[in-house]
A and B are shown apart, each in its own frame.
Chain A
Amino acid sequence: MDLLQASIVLGVVVGIVYALSGAGLVVIFRTSGYISFAQGDIAAVGLFVGLAAYKAGGGYGLTAVTVILVSTVLGGLVGGLITIPLERHGHLPAALSTIGVGLIIGGILNVTVGGDPRAFPEVSSAAAFDFAGVRLGWSDIVGMLASAAIFIGLGFFFRRSRIGIAMRAVNDNRFAGQILGVPDKRLKLVGWIVAGSLSGVLGLFVAPILSLSPVSVNTLLVFGFCAIVIGGFDSIFGALVAGVSIGVLSNLTSAYVDPNLVPTVLWAAMLLVLLIRPNGLFGRRRLVRV
């Protein structure tokens, strides 16, 4: 198997997952204007509950539903009870509170289930077909298709649906939104709920690859952060393009240079993009009225 082809094809496959992790962050950013550091931990809780359901004899379908349901509810609870109320002190405390939530959830998981990595079931371990000399498994295909569907759905949601447009309006100009009767708190909560379920979906794709531990999904958030910085904070399409580029770039680095250099290369790529285009490749330029 050709190393170059394998790196590129598998890079695209994981890149879409990276993009998904970025998309969850963009949803919160679009409505609230800050980034959540707790999404990985929220997904981890869902995944551990899902694993328990799987071990109790539930099939993969039930496991997946449990994971998404738990992380959706938890995402909503964290956003609704802790982070959104803290916004009255500003965006910085709200963002910091997600670090606090992450620490608490991580600590609880460490105490209850322990830090040892566990195997997590995947959709199917069977190989699907060969593409450009690279064998793709069914789980890769399902992951790609589901992510693509989510991306298209999110794109439509933010561009076409009434709630999606209102959610963007809340962040763009909160006061104008309030005057027009846009329920900003409730829309932010919707953002958190959507982001929670997205992180659950992300966890389903990540856990079989990285194996499940309280910190495994967090690892992926780093790639998500890079994806949204490179792609532009408010662009979901940008997150997709950047995610795929990051996937290919990190696979090439790890194949031809050294796997240990991957995070550094990502960071360097991010800084390079910031130097050339401070708002990311697809981000809008923020205009300030003087």
Chain B
Amino acid sequence: MTLQKDVETQESARRPRRRLSARAAASTGRGRVPARLLTLAVVAVAVLAFGFASAPSVRYAVILSVIYAIAILGNNAVLGLLGEMNLSGGVTMALGAYGFCWFSAQGMNPALAAVTAVLLTALVSAVIAIPTTRLRGIFTALATFALAYAIPTLAIYLKDITGGDEGTSAPYDFAPFGLELSGSTWDMLTTVVVIFVLLGALSLYLFNARPGTTALVVGEAELAGTTTGISHRTVKVVVWTWAGTLGGIAGVLYALAVGFIGPTGFSFMLGVWILVGGVIAGPRSVWGALLGGLFVGLLPVELQSVVPPAATGIIFGAILLIALLAGGRGLAEWIERAAPKMTELIRRRRAAS
């Protein structure tokens, strides 16, 4: 047994790490980590610059977009790696937000309250994930849909904690390191973008390391994973917990940005938007999550000057259908596929002339 193990480790150590082909890198979203980090940084700087240059109302929408992007980034792990539909992105945001407000209302230091709220969300997500991941494929959507639907009324029922219909307020004077974290301040924008970039880099690292491989195997070929000794149930619970944790972080930031939270903010449509944002922008791309957040948070604001607010659903539905018709892998991957072809084309033109 030990001998066999030795042989195995030797072999896996000897095997050279192959570079992924352009096509494999584009379709799996793996490999090319430096390039991807650079793209993430460039897009983040662009979002920051846009936010700084805009009027406060638009900057506020950008801040919310980045917060949604954090939730989308988490949800994308479930959608892109496991191929499962999770509509409870809004639920974890609600947990994080309400937890943060409640803990700080109990006299806890806001920073500690934020950490506790995120940990609580992670714990609750893990507990909920255990039965939910027993469902296969898209049927997780039904369980999470029912949960997402229950949250606003549950928040009204638990009015001692959540403030019921009237809602509850986030701590006003939370200023870690002298940053003014509320509403549409520049500090708020910088903080959410930095947090997104850090989480994006972390998920990029995890995706290209062992955890990403394991999750991808479970999502793409569960049976193959099981036969090679991967406990698919554990992997699924871990991925769902990761999604929940990011949702919790997004929830805390949401409470800070909005300042006052109530049950109407966490309708089941929030979970739908988080899912749809991921699908439109690309479930396996980190900077795609940021793009998805902008779709969800900024596009409705920008559209208001063109179409009535009631009609934004039509535009979103149409964009979603187009994204699905294009293969359901999202705008980010599409750009990633097109970019090398474009550079190739340009190079050939230059060579010809």
Chain A interface (Cβ within 8 Å of chain B)? 34-35, 37, 82, 86, 89-93, 95-97, 99-108, 110-111, 114-115, 222, 225-226, 228-229, 233, 258-264, 266-267, 270-272, 274-275, 278, 286, 288, 290
Contact = CB atoms under 8 A, between A and B. Distances in A.
Interface of B: 83, 85, 128, 130-132, 134-139, 141-143, 145-147, 149-150, 153-154, 156-157, 223, 227, 272, 275-276, 279, 308, 310-318, 320-321, 324-325, 327-328
Given A35-B139, A101-B321, A272-B131, 6 more contacts: A34-B138, A86-B325, A96-B275, A111-B314, A262-B153, A270-B146
29 contacts: A35-B138, A86-B324, A89-B328, A91-B137, A91-B138, A92-B328, A95-B138, A95-B141, A96-B324, A96-B328, A102-B317, A104-B318, A107-B310, A107-B312, A107-B316, A110-B311, A226-B142, A258-B157, A260-B157, A261-B157, A263-B146, A263-B150, A267-B147, A267-B149, A271-B131, A274-B132, A274-B143, A288-B223, A290-B223
A259 B128 CA distance: 23
A212 B143 CA distance: 26
Q: Which of B83, B272, B313 has the most CB of A within 10 A?
A: B313
B137 A267 contact: no
Nearest to B313: A107
B223 to A, nearest CB: 7
B131 A96 contact: no
Which DSSP category, helix, strand, loop or mixed, fits chain A's interface? helix
Contacts of A86: 324-325, 328
A102 to B, nearest CB: 7
A103 B316 contact: yes
Contacts of A111: 308, 310-311, 314
Given A35-B141, A222-B145, A275-B131, A99 B312 contact: no
Contacts of A34: 137-138
A110 B313 contact: yes
Contacts of B156: 260
Contacts of B149: 222, 263, 267
A106 B316 CA distance: 11
B139 A222 contact: no
A103 B319 CA distance: 11
Contacts of A104: 313-314, 317-318, 321
Contacts of A267: 143, 146-147, 149-150
Contacts of B146: 222, 225-226, 229, 263, 266-267, 270
